[in-house]
Structure 1
Amino acid sequence: MMGYTLPAVLSVPAVVAAELLWLRTGLFRRPGYWISMAIVVAFQVPVDGWLTRLPDPIVGYNPDEMTGLRFPFDIPVEDYLFGFSLVTLTLLCWLRAKKKEEAA
């Protein structure tokens, strides 16, 4: 369970901590961010569901490296955690770069 689940679980508090303790962009207070995340999930569910559907997945995972929890359409729950972290960290980096550019 450690190979995929542990990094997925740790990525969420790491990204949230980076925002709240270091970057402080205010991203989590922006309605546009939450709308963006809803859009990401709306597209992630059908695409990830198609890629990971059982019993004939296009993308396979080692079951020994995951929790085995899948919802909906056989999507590993770890994919949602990594998706949140990836999209959020990307937006945080863009906002940080914009802030530096404006300060220069």
Structure 2
Amino acid sequence: MSGLGYALPAVLAVIAVCVWELGFLRTGLFRKTAYWMSIAIVLGFQIPVDGWLTKLSSPIVIYDEQHTTGVRFPFDIPVEDFLFGWALVTAVLLLWERQRVVRKEKS
């Protein structure tokens, strides 16, 4: 099935991070303005760098299009990159937030 090789793990990563936060950690990170500002900052760097790396006119990183959805936006960036990026950054921020809460509870 076309598009599942990269897209499916990307979607599953997003779902796993959401389930981890909403079902287990419950840090409230998604309700914090600072979190969404952090995501905006990440996107501010990810878009130009990822766009440069994946531009179809002269790609540095080449994806097997059989394993992506084929949707590229903006600057030829495969949308799956944004899903993986969000899951990675959010998972790290959740770990930091959880650690902060645990340390606060101990003191």
TM-score range, shorter chain: over 0.9
Question: What percent of counterpart residues are identical?
Answer: 59
The Cα of 1:10 is off from its aligned counterpart by 1.3
Matched, 1:42 2:44: yes
TM-score by length of structure 1 reads 0.94
Structure 1: unaligned runs, 5 residues or longer = none
The Cα of 1:101 is off from its aligned counterpart by 2.5
Tell me how far apart the structure 2 counterparts of residues 18 and 61 of structure 1 sit (CA, whole Å). Answer: 29
Q: Which residue of 2 aligns with 1:60?
A: 62
Secondary structure of the equivalent of 1:25?
Answer: coil
Tell me how far apart the structure 2 counterparts of residues 97 and 73 of structure 1 sit (CA, whole Å). Answer: 37
Q: Which residue of 2 aligns with 1:24?
A: 26
Structure 2: unaligned runs, 5 residues or longer = none
* Cα deviation digits, residues 3-23 of structure 1 (max 9, x gap): 111000111121111111100
* Cα deviation digits, residues 45-70 of structure 1 (max 9, x gap): 10000000012111111111101110
Tell me how far apart the structure 1 counterparts of residues 79 and 57 of structure 2 sit (CA, whole Å). Answer: 17
Q: CA RMSD in A?
A: 1.0
Structure 1 residue ranges, 4+ long, deviating more than 4 angstroms after superposition: none
Tell me how far apart the structure 2 counterparts of residues 30 and 100 of structure 1 sit (CA, whole Å). Answer: 18
